[in-house]
Amino acid sequence: MTDLAIRDRNEYRRKLEANGFKLLGAGFYSMVFAYPNDTTRVLKLGTDDTWEPYVRWATENGFAGNYAPRVYAYKRLSHWLYLASMERLDSTVAGIQDERERHDTMDAIFDVQRGHEEGYRFVDIKWPGLRCFVKRAQYEGFTGDWHMENWMVKGPRLVLIDPQSENRTSPKRWRAVGPTIQAGR
């Protein structure tokens, strides 16, 4: 991330907060804000990372609104910066209050990610389709940062919000192209 991207991101953060958006959380590459009068959506302000190709892939393959976040609108603000309006989720897996449920959930995710069959029965009952999603995300190269803060819940749903922490925009066939994202050849 460049100094210019950081300056742009902080400038947009100030603009959003001045317009009533409330910062809910932040990571190295992005910040998430609550809309002033909409409890069903959040606004993600992000810098150059792998999130864009991930959500494009998830949307094009039917995973958005299931195991990937539903994105309502996306806009590239500059070469380094984008805004995305997306569904508001309940909490990270780390925020699940019941300790046993929190650990069982992460164990199940990691069992599937690593191919440990002993966790499949639990996963297939609680989250049908999760194994398919995980295997396809791995095949496309969307892996590497699957910790409790990057998995969220919305009701009974598990949602992988950001599968990578690296500044790579080309996992396998997917690449960022201008203001939109397209599948590569």
pLDDT tens series, the chain, 185 aa? 555 555 678 889 999 999 999 999 988 888 999 999 999 999 999 886 678 889 999 999 999 999 999 999 999 888 788 999 999 999 999 889 999 988 888 888 888 888 887 777 778 888 898 989 998 998 998 887 888 888 999 998 999 998 876 555 444 444 444 444 444 33
Q: What's the pLDDT at 185? A: 32
- 33: containing domain: 1-179
73: in domain: yes
**What does the alpha-carbon distance between residue 163 and residue 144 come to, in Å, rounded to a whole number?**
6
52: in domain: yes
Beta partners for 182? 175
Kindly report the backbone phi and psi dihedral angles of residue 160, in degrees, each rounded to the nearest multiple of 5, phi listed first: -85, 110
Are 150 and 161 spatial neighbours (Cβ–Cβ below 8 Å)?
yes
76: in domain: yes
Number of domains, the chain: 1
Q: Is the pTM of this model over 0.95?
A: no
Does residue 65 sit in helix, strand or coil? coil
17: in domain: yes
Beta partners for 32? 25, 44
170: in domain: yes
Are 154 and 17 spatial neighbours (Cβ–Cβ below 8 Å)?
no
**What does the alpha-carbon distance between residue 161 and residue 89 come to, in Å, rounded to a whole number?**
10
Are 126 and 112 spatial neighbours (Cβ–Cβ below 8 Å)?
no
Q: What's the pLDDT at 29? A: 84
Q: What's the pLDDT at 165? A: 62
- Tokens 């792998």 identify what position? 50
126: in domain: yes
The residue type at 24 = L
185: in domain: no
**What does the alpha-carbon distance between residue 16 and residue 29 come to, in Å, rounded to a whole number?**
17
184: in domain: no
